[in-house]
Structure 1
Amino acid sequence: MGNFERIQSRETGLHKKLSARQMSMIAIGGAIGTGLFLGSKFAIGFAGPAVIISYALGGLIALALMGCLAEMTVQHPTSGSFGAYAEFYLHPIAGFLVRYSYWACTVLAVGTEVTAIAEYMKFWFPQINSWIWIALFSCSLIGVNAYSVKAFGSVEYWFSTIKIFAIIVFIVLAVCVLLSQSNISRIEHNLFSSGFTPHGFSGIWTGVIISIFSYIGIEMIAIAAGEATNPEHAVKTAFKGTLARLLIFYLLALSLIVMLMPWKELIQENSTSPFVTVMQNVGIPFADSILNFIVIVAALSAMNSMLYIATRMMFSLSRANEAPQILGKVKNNGVPLNALALSSAGIAVAALVYVFNPETAFPIMIALSMFGALFSWGTVFLTHLCFRIRMRQQQQILKFRVPGFPFITLAGLVAIISIMITTWFTPIFHATLLFGIPFLAFLVLVYIIQAYHKKVQANK
């Protein structure tokens, strides 16, 4: 394992300040955001009430991914995470491609979140230009990330706490409304009057694609492990607790939403989030404004987490000599400030997309960021196969083991490939491969040129 220790040693300089409690909240913070509160509106539009099935299937894929990542992260905690694992267990070019693809994904996801925040603010201030909100919230979170990893962890912890508390309150209120009505026929009407699966299996499967976007972020505990005080304990704790909570929050909350209202009313043009729409319909005083505040906190939280992850991935690329060395420099507070500055570029991209096409900005940003996420998830499953084979060949004892290998890993890989192919035939995601394949080809070309240059330099 000496070679992997070399990879870990080159990523020194980051401060190990994150606790197991903060790690769990970071994982939740990344995964409960725009995908749930706003993305679920698009998923409901495709799948109808069967959106519950879509998010359940997506949750199973996410569960498999978390298991694979947890095994490798407990064995090798490092900020390079699955990029470093792909480099070591597959090939250096695999590490290069997955790092840059995931970095592009998270940078664009930062833009997606800030675009959503601008949408949410229209609920209160419809006349104010969206640029103001994009600039205000962006500068605030860049400042938090620039201050220290401890500040990031603390802010993310409280953001996530607010989100979790809000979803619990929403669930309790929704259950109380359903029980007070005691009207089974109304629930049946909302679920089945227009068909439980109005667009058939294709609608459900398209909903799965959106659900995967919603679950993106759970993998960030593997990256944050490089800055955890006790990585092994932190990852195990986060893995065991995070997914159970996520599945409960997603599936239970979405089930209640489609029970309370007909799905067609949830996707009307003037609605922002299904959660806000339900609260308006129920008639609880100020509930819609309160929930809109929560939705904004959720988006800020996910944006904060994605900015952190993009920064660490670019830092890892620099330390692997695959990005300019200046991006791998760490300030005295333990923050790779130059990598943070570059990773903030997603905000500018989002702003431009939003200005030129405000009506479809969010789905466009989803499509563009989806390729990096799907490619990274697929690479994680493939890497895990090679990781297990190498562990068996070298008779290494796993510090943490998830049952079901190799079936879970193979099923996850097949699911991701299937979703990737499906995006081409889905109009809203057509840009995923249209953007992703040329981008991947460009990265391969860059890697070949870079490798040739290194070889020439070494022979001098």
Structure 2
Amino acid sequence: MSEPVLDEGYERGLKNRQISMMAIGGAIGTGLFLGAGAAIQTSGPGLIACYAVAGAVIFIIMRALGELLVYRPVSRSFVDYAEEFLGRMPAFATGWVYWLMWITTAMAEITAAGLYVQYWFPSIPQWVTAAVVLGALYLANLISVKVFGEFEFWFSMIKVITIVGAILLGLAVIIFGWGPAGEQASFAHLWQHGGFFPNGGNAALLALQSVMFAYLGVELIGLTAGEAKKPEKVLPKAINNVVVRIAVFYVGALVVLLSLVPWTEFHKGKSPFVQAFDAVGIHGAAGIIQFVVLTAALSSCNSGIYSTGRMLRTLSLQRSAPKAFGKLSPRKVPAASLSMSAAVMAIGILINVVVPEEAFSYVTSIATAGVIWTWGVILVCQIRYRRKVDAGELPSAGFRLPGAPWTAYFGLAFLALVVVLLGFSEDTRIALYVTPIVGVGIVVGYLLTNKKQRAEEPVG
């Protein structure tokens, strides 16, 4: 039996349909729509197996989080669990790492939005679009959680409709021979042209790092517990559907795309979805996908503003951030922490002015390391929680991680493998350089915060 839902002062304004769609859309980003072309060029059809294996690990992580959420559904989520099961230092690190992860992700996404808008309006400077996007989404989050939820619902709906449409059109081409690609489309493309792993297993293995980060954001559903209606019922249902979403939107989409045309025709810099629409004779396919990836960027930035605002308030309530960030506005949103987070995100606008060409790659390295840490903490907390349940010290949540604790150990081993693989690519190696710097900063921050707390505590 789980503990009762705690009142954290938030308005329970997120509806079931919004949380369900957020859970679907959270796992769909620009990595699938735009970045899959480069991964296919490197791995061939073997990329399907990479997404399937990585998706299984993501499901393990989400079920581990779900077990903790049912045990104690709070929007402080993994930070609260880290403090309970690991101690204050890991909780401090987790909160700030997650905050930094979404700050840098939002910087990257407003940068991406600036690039996407130039497809239609090349004369508009990249930084102008970045500023407009950040300002508009900040105001939406400031109004109420209902506005945030509605924005996220429709952003996710656009992505889902696009993928489902591409899958159905692709199947029509393959099965019924419709469109210009009807004669050559075949499921046999998956094993022809060099086999399922045409560049060898090592190439597919190296793709795991980019594949894992395509799933960044799925854990965001854990932060909605404090603002969801009936979270003890809604959240487990949304988490259980993760497997279906991954199977359909990632594995299913890639199977269809790679059956339409040989994998050798996919290249870096061109969306595989553009080729899918071209194959069925839809003109303006590039414009359609450009609009969708813009939507994906807006969705990610919207989620970043929401999550950083809640996380900064959590840190404040745990005395790991200034007290002012713990307050709620009359609309029951953490206005002060939202404002601070948006102000830091605005650094991304400056980066777009100074180094527009390198902006995207510069600000994603911290997010890379941050999501690995967060997912790892979730798994370790679930292991510690289950040990306490087995010892009779805590009540069982009734929503167990299947195969625990071995599935949790497998998830941790897989994340460790991804960290090792980061060192094999020049594009991701920078994450290994940035991580120790961030770590030192967090340790210093923790020591200073702890010192201040001890000084404020009454003697005796």
The reply to whether residue 79 of structure 1 matches residue 78 of structure 2 is: no
Q: Once the 2 structures are TM-superposed, how far is the Cα of residue 175 of structure 1 from its aligned partner? A: 1.5
Q: 1:248 deviation in Å?
A: 1.0
1:334-413 counterparts in 2 under 5 A? 334-345=332-343, 347-393=345-391, 394=393, 396-413=395-412
Does the Cα contact within 8 Å between 1:109 and 1:346 map onto a contact in 2? no
How many residue pairs get aligned? The number is 454
| Alpha-carbon separation, structure 2, partners of 1:364 and 1:51 | 26
Task: Give 1:232's aligned residue.
Answer: 232
- Partners of 2:41 and 2:268 within 8 A in 1: no
Query: Which of these residues, 86, 107, 113, is aligned with residue 117 of structure 1?
Result: 113
Write the deviation string for residues 333-377 of structure 1: whole angstroms up to 9, x where unpaired.
Answer: 111112112222464343344445544543443333111100111
Match of 2:226, SS state, is helix
For the structure 1 residues 268 and 126, does the alpha-carbon distance in structure 2 shift closer, same or farther, using more than 3 Å as the test?
Answer: farther
Change (3 A) 1:363 1:232: same
Match in the other structure for 2:413: 414
Q: Find the residue that maps to 1:227 and give its secondary structure.
A: coil
Cα distance in 2 for partners of 1:206, 1:307 equals 31
Distance 2:119 2:264 in 1: 20
> Do residues 160 (structure 1) and 149 (structure 2) align?
no
Deviations 1:69-110 (A, max 9, x none): 000001111111011101101111111111111111111111
Find the residue that maps to 1:401 and give its secondary structure.
coil
328 and 113 in structure 1: CA distance in 2 versus 1, 3 angstrom threshold: same
Contact 1:29 1:305 in 2 (8 A): no
- Find the partner of 1:322 among 320, 323, 326: 320
Residue of structure 1 in register with 2:128 after alignment: 132
Contact 1:191 / 1:258 at 8 angstroms: preserved in 2? no
SS of equivalent residue, structure 1 residue 31: coil
1:443 — aligned with what?
442
Cα distance change, pair 197–175 in 1 and its aligned pair in 2 (3 A)? same
In proportion to residue count, which structure has more helix? 1
Distance 2:234 2:247 in 1: 20
Change (3 A) 1:123 1:49: farther
Does residue 150 of the first structure (1) align with residue 146 of the second (2)? yes
Contact 1:33 1:302 in 2 (8 A): yes
Match of 1:99 in 2: 95
> Does the 8 A contact of 1:17 with 1:229 survive in 2?
yes
Instruction: Report the residue type matching 2:415 in the other structure.
Output: I
Query: What is the DSSP-based 3-state SS (H/G/I as helix, E as strand, rest coil) of the residue aligned with 1:400?
Result: coil
2:47 counterpart of 1:51? yes
Task: Give the drift of 1:457.
Answer: 2.7
Conserved 8 A contact 2:100-2:370: yes
Report the secondary structure of 2:84's partner residue.
helix
Residues 114, 138 of structure 1: 8 Å contact kept = yes
Q: 343-352 or 52-61, which moves further after superposition?
A: 343-352
* Structure 1 residues 262 and 363: alpha-carbon distance in aligned structure 2, compared to 1, 3 A threshold: farther
Matched residue type, 1:157: F
The answer on whether the counterparts of 2:52 and 2:251 sit within 8 Å (CA) in structure 1 is: yes
- More divergent stretch after superposition (176-185 vs 153-162): 176-185
- TM alignment of 1:286-325, pairs within 5 A: 286-325=284-323
Aligned to 1:201: 201
Report the alpha carbon displacement of residue 297 of structure 1 after superposing the two structures with TM: 1.7
Counterpart amino acid of 2:364?
A: I
Deviations 1:30-68 (A, max 9, x none): 221222212323432432332111211210110000110
Cα distance change on mapping 1:301 and 1:341 into 2, 3 Å:
same
Deviates more, 1:14-23 or 1:378-387: 14-23
Of 187-196 and 96-105, more deviation after overlay is shown by 187-196
Q: 1:185 to 1:37 in 2, by over 3 A?
A: closer
Displacement of 1:132 in angstroms is 2.3
**Matched residues in 1 for 2:351 and 2:211: separation?**
23
- Correspondent of 1:276 among 267, 274, 277: 274
Contact 1:32–1:298, Cα closer than 8 Å, also in 2? yes
Question: In the superposition, relative to structure 1, how do residues 281 and 357 fare at CA in structure 2: closer, same or farther (>3 Å)?
Answer: farther
Q: Residues of 1 paired with 2:283 and 2:243: CA distance?
A: 33
Match of 2:451 in 1: 452
Whether 1:258 aligns to 2:254 is no
- Check whether the contact 1:20–1:233 (CA below 8 A) recurs between aligned residues: no
Deviations 1:159-189 (A, max 9, x none): 2122211211111111122231554686645
Structure 1 residues 358 and 303: alpha-carbon distance in aligned structure 2, compared to 1, 3 A threshold? same
Is the 8 Å Cα contact of residues 31 and 302 (structure 1) preserved in structure 2?
Answer: no
Q: Match for 2:161: what amino acid?
A: F
Contact 1:29–1:160 (CA<8 Å) still a contact in 2?
Answer: yes
Q: Which residue does the alignment assign to 1:33?
A: 29
Q: CA deviation at 1:134?
A: 1.3
Q: Is the 1:40–1:210 contact (alpha carbons within 8 Å) kept by the matching residues of 2?
A: no
Which string of whole-angstrom CA distances, capped at 9 and with x for unpartnered residues, describes residues 417-450 of structure 1? 1111221232111111211122012211221222
Change (3 A) 1:130 1:336: same
Match of 2:166 in 1: 170
Counterpart Cα distance in 2 of 1:117 and 1:187:
35
Q: Is the 8 A contact 2:43 2:203 kept in 1?
A: yes
**Alpha-carbon distance in 2 for matches of 1:124, 1:263:** 29
What percentage of aligned pairs have identical amino acids?
33
Give the whole-Å Cα distance in 2 for the aligned partners of 1:334 and 1:243. 33
Name the CA shift for 1:189/1:73 in 2 (closer, same or farther; >3 Å). Answer: closer
Q: CA RMSD in A?
A: 2.5
Q: Which segment drifts farther, 380-389 or 239-248?
A: 239-248
Could you report, residue by residue, the CA deviation over 1:203-236 in whole angstroms, capped at 9, with x for unpaired residues? 2223221122111111111110111121100111
Mind listing any 5+ residue stretches in structure 1 that lack a counterpart?
none
Question: Quick one: which amino acid aligns to residue 108 of structure 1?
Answer: T
